[in-house]
């Protein structure tokens, strides 16, 4: 399979997931949120493919709601983090002093323990959807910013950039018209690759009790509840939500990897 065909297949698969999950959530309404104590802790069956939880709620419907919430959080968090990385990279192109300052800031952020930083930011903001989005966005931009800064260093020494400066163009003009267009492939790839990490960290924060509210049908909430009952043999409480989260993340990661290979000149195969 060629790189172009593989990218098309992965993109189509991810697009189908991104469209089907929210549509499924809207079609189900609050079906998976209603308690039915007459159907508590039922194992998977044809009627309920993922079984029910301790309150009789259908796990399959709750998983769809949870994935929809994870997609929304991941889209916003990854988008904000990509924007921060772009701003840092563009500021670093304004001069040596700016580049040194942005490099120091990036190194400081990379030196901080990742999960601890996520927990502290989310806890300081009081938890909830907004806190999780801000925490993930603030903690995920440094690696992409470092990649963009390295790309900018190569572009700044290009002949067409030197020619533009020789004609008296300002640094802001060069950054906007010459550097930014060349960064778009890296930005797109970085955003897609950051998306699954944002989803995983949202689930991790929620699982640890510092993320989304327990009343929400989030994947992290379901996994946290499953840990208290899995010892009683109710394995389906963790397997269904966990497998759905892993499949979604792997799908998005494969799309990002295929996109990276397609946009990286060193890995193109004609």
Residue-range domain boundaries for the chain: 3-27+52-267
- The pLDDT-based confidence of 162 (bands split at 50, 70, 90) is confident
Q: What is the mean pLDDT of the chain?
A: 77
Q: Is 51 left (phi over 0), alpha (psi -120 to 50) or beta?
A: left
pLDDT at 23 over 60: no
**Strand-pair partners of 58:** 52
Q: pLDDT of 45-96, one tens digit each?
A: 887 888 888 787 888 888 888 888 888 888 888 889 999 998 888 888 777 8
What was the pLDDT predicted at 71?
82
pTM of the model: 0.75
Q: Which residues of 139-178 are buried (b: 16+ CB within 10 A; e: fewer)?
A: bbbbbbbbbbbebbeebbeeeebeebeeeeeeeeebbeeb
Is residue 171 within a helix (H) or strand (E), and if so which, with residue range? Answer: helix 171-174
Instruction: Give the tokens for residue 229.
Output: 């009952």
What was the pLDDT predicted at 80?
92
Instruction: Give the tokens for residue 48.
Output: 């309920």
- The pLDDT-based confidence of 268 (bands split at 50, 70, 90) is very low
What was the pLDDT predicted at 43?
81
What was the pLDDT predicted at 13?
58
Of the candidate ranges 97-106, 128-137, 189-198, the one whose mean pLDDT is the lowest: 189-198
- The CATH architecture assigned to 3-27+52-267 reads Orthogonal Bundle (1.10)
What was the pLDDT predicted at 16?
54
Cα–Cα dist 222/225, whole Å: 5
Residues 32 and 60 sit within 8 Å (Cβ to Cβ)? yes
Q: pLDDT of 210-252, one tens digit each?
A: 877 777 777 887 888 788 777 777 788 888 888 888 887 777 7
Residues 263 and 189 sit within 8 Å (Cβ to Cβ)? yes
What was the pLDDT predicted at 84?
92
Position of tokens 């952020």?
Answer: 109
pLDDT at 1 over 70: no
């Amino acid at each position: 399979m060629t790189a172009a065909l593989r990218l098309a297949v992965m993109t189509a698969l991810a697009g189908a997931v991104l469209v089907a999950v929210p549509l499924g959530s809207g079609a189900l309404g609050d079906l998976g949120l209603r308690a039915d104590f007459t159907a508590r802790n039922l194992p998977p069956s044809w009627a309920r493919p993922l079984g029910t939880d301790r309150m009789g709620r259908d796990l399959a419907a709750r998983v769809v709601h949870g994935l929809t919430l994870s997609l929304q959080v991941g889209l916003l968090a990854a988008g904000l983090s990509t924007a921060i990385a772009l701003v840092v990279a563009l500021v670093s192109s304004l001069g040596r002093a700016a580049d040194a300052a942005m490099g120091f800031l990036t190194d400081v952020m990379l030196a901080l323990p990742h999960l601890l930083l996520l927990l502290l930011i989310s806890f300081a903001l009081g938890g909830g959807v907004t806190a999780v989005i801000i925490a993930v966005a603030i903690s995920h931009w440094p690696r992409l910013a470092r990649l963009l800064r390295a790309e900018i260093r190569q572009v700044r020494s290009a002949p067409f950039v030197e020619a533009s400066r020789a004609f008296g163009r300002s640094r802001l003009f060069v950054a906007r018209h010459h550097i930014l267009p060349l960064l778009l492939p890296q930005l797109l790839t970085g955003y897609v690759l950051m998306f699954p990490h944002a989803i995983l960290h949202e689930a991790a924060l929620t699982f640890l009790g510092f993320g989304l509210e327990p009343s929400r049908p989030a994947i992290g909430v379901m996994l946290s509840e499953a840990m208290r009952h899995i010892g009683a043999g109710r394995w389906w409480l963790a397997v269904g939500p966990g497998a759905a989260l892993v499949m979604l993340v792997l799908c998005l990661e494969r799309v990002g990897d295929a996109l990276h290979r397609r946009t990286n000149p060193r890995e193109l195969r004609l």
